[in-house]
Structure 1
Amino acid sequence: MIDWYGASGILVFYSIILGVGVWAGTKKKNNGEEEVMLAGRSIGQTVGILTLIATWAGGAYFTGIAEAFFTTGLLWCQMPIGYSFNLAVGALLFAKPMREAGYITMLDPFQEKYGSRIGGLLFLPAFLGDILILAATLGALGVSLEVILDISKYWSVTISTMFAAAYTITGGLYSVTYTDVLQLLFMVFGLLLSFPFAINNVQYYPKDPSNSTLSSNIDWIGHVEPKDYVFWVEQMLILVFGGIVNQSFFQRILSLKSSINAFNISLISATVCFLLAIPAASFGIVAKLVDWSKIPSYGKPFDYSESSAILPLVLRNLTPNWVAFFGLGAVSASVMASADSIILSSSSMFTRNIYKLSFRPQATENELMCVLRLSIIVVSVVSCYIALSSGSIYYLAVVCSDIVYVVLFPQLLVVVYWTKYVNGYGCLVSFVLGLVLRITGGEPDLGIPPMIKYPWYDDTTRRQLFPYKTLAMLLSAISLIMISQLVSYIFHNRILDPEQWDVLNAFQEFRPTESRKRQPKESEHLNVHIIKYRRTNEPHNYTSEISSYQPSTTIEEKTKSRF
């Protein structure tokens, strides 16, 4: 039977969010690329902090922490530390240089260096990761609502996706930003309102007769086996360094008014995200204290297949109906804070880095906006379909996070800090090597056997205990620099004739001057814009600059200040 209090709470909160999203869309000054994708780079410090926190600490963050405390204890609840350090690393490594360069997406530095086609190749792992993480987010929401409200997973996922896509199409980053802020406020308010009622009801259904939170019968800490120490560390590294190579993060950083704001906001958000883990963990503790078979509305031993919905279950069964109205509505609505961010980020990368820079440099602003809106619809539909049809979304999302850690993180780090040492040849080899090493390590949960069994391989659980993902990441970074330098040595020393063998056009200095003037690389258009942006620190109209660009000097002269 449907829980009408919870269902009405969700409907009310969704409607408020949709209304705010449509209103925020009216703040757009025009339909330009920067205006829609980056809110005209006008986001201030307060709103910037709130939207970044909401993107990271969405509904999945709170429900995941509550689940981890309930099922495995403190030691395996890696999300708060990983996510917090994730933002801190983003601030220290990428926030300032990426914002000062005037990039629009995470892929811009790749296309600036390697050209639009090679740089665009890195869109594939980023896009696939976004799609599957979005599907996992929507799938988790559907399971939660199915368990606690007896609402069909089909309807809960479909309606949530439609709401998120609707206001994202309407206002772009303006709508996403303001709804993120609202969703975060809803979430914090709902949890703070609900917790006193939940903890008070523990006394009526105690698991331990002494009713003590310090009871030795309850394992709060959890346990990490000695054989899992290295595995635990690697999982933390993936959370910290893999998660930061995320267009949702860069979309917020690049939309801020200045590079100083970008740095400060990332550090502040990291601290607040960690603190917000405390109320989420508290609900996991409450769930561990009660005997679920004594609760009339649940009335059975706890079914651990429902552990992913432990936070909504506590709200439904241990709080009054009117409190559950706010709590369940806030939890469900806050999931969209992560969903809408992913929808917009993937669509922005496709529109700018694939459609525009790779295939249609002459595209008008109106054409790009049509492509962006169509991309939002396609991303939403595909993610919704995967969420409804796949039974292994979580593991697919985990694998894609690994691939981002192995393939994209070293690529971004090197291209930002050591760009003069790399070229397209090193990029391709690094990409393929990292991907192959990750796949050959296997993935038992997806039925992929390991082709390479590293030291400490556990035949019982079929797990690689050796940190082979980190090894693959390091080898990917090393190969990127070494292969680039090797190819550079071969061409500069004329071991091979670059005019004949430089098939990727990575060494333009060997091209005849007139030829370079007649056929500038696609990435030159991006370089010219970025140089102009640094000189004026003001947003520009990309289309008008690209269409009016007539190279009068060589690209080396125009990019002297960059390289």
Structure 2
Amino acid sequence: MAVNVLGLVVLLICYLIIIVVGILAARLKRKVNGTLRMEEAIVAGRDINVVVGIFTMTATTVGGGYINGTAESIASSGLVWTLAPFGIFMGLITGGIVFAGRMRKHQYLTMLDPIQERFGDTVVVLVYTATLCGDVFWTASILVALGTSLSVIVNIPLSIAIVSSSLATVFYTMFGQMISVAYTDIVQLIFIIIGLGLSLPFVLTNENVGSISDTAEVWIGQFDVNMTSPWIDLFIAMIFGTIPWQAYFQRVLSVRSARHAQMLSVAGAFSAVILAIPSILIGAVATTADWTNTTLGSSPMALNQSSMTLPYVLHEFTPSWVAIIGLGAISAAVMSSMDSSILGSSSMFTNNIYKKIIRKKASDTEALWIQTISILCVGVMATLVSLFVPIVYGLFILAADVVFVIVLPQLFCAVFITRSNVYGAITGFLVGTVLRMGAGESLLDWQPFIKYPFYSVDAGQQFPFRTFAMIISLVTIVMVSLFSDLVMRYLCKNSQHNSYLVSGGGEVNTQTQNIGSHSSHHPLISF
């Protein structure tokens, strides 16, 4: 089948509009005085108003995985197992209430700042590695989703679709960084609303689509009581796993006040759950449509292609021009997620790894160049993974679990548990990693070496192992920190006592007392 020229032209126009908006936003909004250049690059000079903040928060959340994944889950598993929209809704509200105001009030640049302040460089490198894996695998998975969508509607090769979309996103992100990302998110969100909003009436009124009420039992799904534990585990992971991502905190930290940070988080939660409705309806349509009259001949679910539910519904049950506009919505959604991910990872590397560990005396100009190069490197990594790794989605699921199990306890303790320290953080990191990796991952054909209660060969892990691992990691950080605190205080006390005996209460004792009075500034015993 020949390439759909009209679709290709529309897609290129969409990309061109987004790139131009990104470049113009960077030129018009970049400040000459008043803020550091790195602060502009990472958090847009903390000058994003609340309306733009809500747009960029919503666009980042309502990404390609969110839109495609919701339709897929509705069609294959039913609404009761479609946890992402509702989990993300509750996660953003929780993040806004618990973290947003506090993080913005401290004027952090990245999510890793409080972790680095409390636990030091070693822990930051470990946590950054986990977050980088999450961002790269997430970006790769949505690039694959976009590539397959383009191959269905426009009929261009998968590799060309992935590389061209990646290049466009990396280009405007490198040029304007957070300023460009925030304002292109507005355009991308408009594309998403128009594309899905226009497609929906055509889909619902197509002659080959019956009433979704007739198949309500299928697309709503049935809750299996025996699966209560895994359901709760996934829901908790979805809620709290929404929070510890730099893409989220980058928006929280870019607005003008702590109050605005909370507002955009809560408003973004409501906007995101509303924008899940078109995908839910499209997923429902896939269960009631007569697929025998389509080019597929059978439903995507029957063909084991449920991940393609949304693009196939648009392609088969809307006019060609409507499907192309709907594809523009998918493309915009992917770009809005990708730019956030690659900017987030590069910002953490530049601010927390390069400037605070590798080159502490680096100038802002040097750091800005490193930031730009980092954006390119992360984008290239994600693109290569999407092209050459056949199990991208499985890697993303594992990385997202690791972020929930490891990064969340580290962030929570750094922000709220004042007596946590580096010993507890490292131990908690290791314990959480072992507990999660030990559970295995079926999507990667990774067999478990820890068989939790209720494990079976056929059903796999039935125990809420994600939540369990996260809680144990958190408790480990606190308990080991408290224990190491007691040990350090005991050693310090004995050291001072022995010095006093040796010196006979003279000058040496005064020196040890002075050392003791400043010991609270040592990073290993700072509480």
Q: Distance in 1 between matches of 2:4 and 2:441?
A: 39
Q: 1:161 to 1:299 in 2, by over 3 A?
A: closer
How high is the TM-score relative to the length of structure 1?
0.85
- For 2:449, the equivalent position in structure 1 comes to 451
Q: Distance in 2 between matches of 1:511 and 1:216?
A: 80
Q: Distance in 2 between matches of 1:489 and 1:558?
A: 15
Contact 2:212–2:285 (8 Å) recurs in 1: no
1:357 aligns with 2:356: yes
- The one-letter code matched in structure 2 to 1:381 is V
Which aligned pairs between 1:357-396 and structure 2 lie closer than 5 A? Answer: 357-396=356-395
- The one-letter code matched in structure 1 to 2:371 is L
Aligned CA-pair RMSD: 2.4
Offset from partner CA, 1:100-136 (integer Å, 9 cap, x none): 0110000000111122333333111111111111111
- For 1:25, the equivalent position in structure 2 comes to 26
Long gaps (5+) in structure 2: 497-509
- For 1:471, the equivalent position in structure 2 comes to 468
Q: 1:425 to 1:216 in 2, by over 3 A?
A: closer
Of the three residues 104, 123, 126, the one matched with 2:128 is: 123
- For 1:315, the equivalent position in structure 2 comes to 314
Percent sequence identity over matched residues?
37
- For 1:424, the equivalent position in structure 2 comes to 422
CA displacement at 1:213 relative to structure 2: 2.9
- For 2:502, the equivalent position in structure 1 comes to none
CA displacement at 1:260 relative to structure 2: 0.4
- For 2:486, the equivalent position in structure 1 comes to 489
- For 2:208, the equivalent position in structure 1 comes to 205
Contact 1:144–1:308 (8 Å) recurs in 2: no
Q: 1:511 to 1:362 in 2, by over 3 A?
A: farther
CA displacement at 1:227 relative to structure 2: 1.9
Q: 1:287 to 1:374 in 2, by over 3 A?
A: same
> Helix, strand or coil: the match of 1:215?
helix
Offset from partner CA, 1:490-543 (integer Å, 9 cap, x none): 1111289789xxxxxxxxxx9979999xxxxxxxxxxxxxxxxxxxxxxxxxxx
Of the three residues 32, 49, 55, the one matched with 2:54 is: 49
Q: Distance in 2 between matches of 1:299 and 1:125?
A: 40
1:221 aligns with 2:220: yes
Which aligned pairs between 1:176-325 and structure 2 lie closer than 5 A? Answer: 176-201=181-206, 204-206=207-209, 211-215=210-214, 219-295=218-294, 298=295, 300-304=297-301, 305-325=304-324
CA displacement at 1:76 relative to structure 2: 1.1
Q: 1:322 to 1:449 in 2, by over 3 A?
A: closer
Q: Distance in 2 between matches of 1:28 and 1:188?
A: 28
> Helix, strand or coil: the match of 1:137?
helix
CA displacement at 1:264 relative to structure 2: 1.4
- For 1:149, the equivalent position in structure 2 comes to 154
Segment drifting more, 471-480 vs 145-154: 145-154
Of the three residues 63, 67, 71, the one matched with 2:68 is: 63
Contact 1:457–1:464 (8 Å) recurs in 2: yes
Which aligned pairs between 1:90-169 and structure 2 lie closer than 5 A? Answer: 90-169=95-174
> Helix, strand or coil: the match of 1:243?
coil
How high is the TM-score relative to the length of structure 2?
0.91
- The one-letter code matched in structure 2 to 1:14 is Y
> Helix, strand or coil: the match of 2:463?
coil
- The one-letter code matched in structure 2 to 1:493 is Y
> Helix, strand or coil: the match of 2:220?
coil
- For 1:339, the equivalent position in structure 2 comes to 338
> Helix, strand or coil: the match of 1:448?
coil
Offset from partner CA, 1:118-177 (integer Å, 9 cap, x none): 333311111111111111111111122223322111101101110000000100101000
Contact 1:491–1:498 (8 Å) recurs in 2: no
- For 1:409, the equivalent position in structure 2 comes to 408
Contact 2:64–2:145 (8 Å) recurs in 1: no
- The one-letter code matched in structure 1 to 2:453 is P
Q: Distance in 1 between matches of 2:97 and 2:215?
A: 42
Contact 1:96–1:262 (8 Å) recurs in 2: yes
- For 2:503, the equivalent position in structure 1 comes to none
Q: Distance in 1 between matches of 2:211 and 2:325?
A: 29
Contact 1:13–1:330 (8 Å) recurs in 2: no
Contact 1:348–1:372 (8 Å) recurs in 2: yes
Q: 1:205 to 1:20 in 2, by over 3 A?
A: same
Q: 1:498 to 1:161 in 2, by over 3 A?
A: farther
CA displacement at 1:331 relative to structure 2: 1.6
Contact 1:107–1:119 (8 Å) recurs in 2: yes
- For 1:527, the equivalent position in structure 2 comes to none
Contact 2:405–2:466 (8 Å) recurs in 1: yes
Offset from partner CA, 1:407-445 (integer Å, 9 cap, x none): 1111111211112x1111111111111101111122233
Q: 1:34 to 1:428 in 2, by over 3 A?
A: same
Q: Distance in 1 between matches of 2:154 and 2:513?
A: 69
Offset from partner CA, 1:312-332 (integer Å, 9 cap, x none): 222222222222232212221
> Helix, strand or coil: the match of 1:172?
helix
Q: Distance in 2 between matches of 1:179 and 1:289?
A: 36
Q: 1:19 to 1:425 in 2, by over 3 A?
A: same
Segment drifting more, 212-221 vs 121-130: 212-221
CA displacement at 1:67 relative to structure 2: 1.4
Aligned residues: 505
Q: Distance in 1 between matches of 2:237 and 2:21?
A: 35
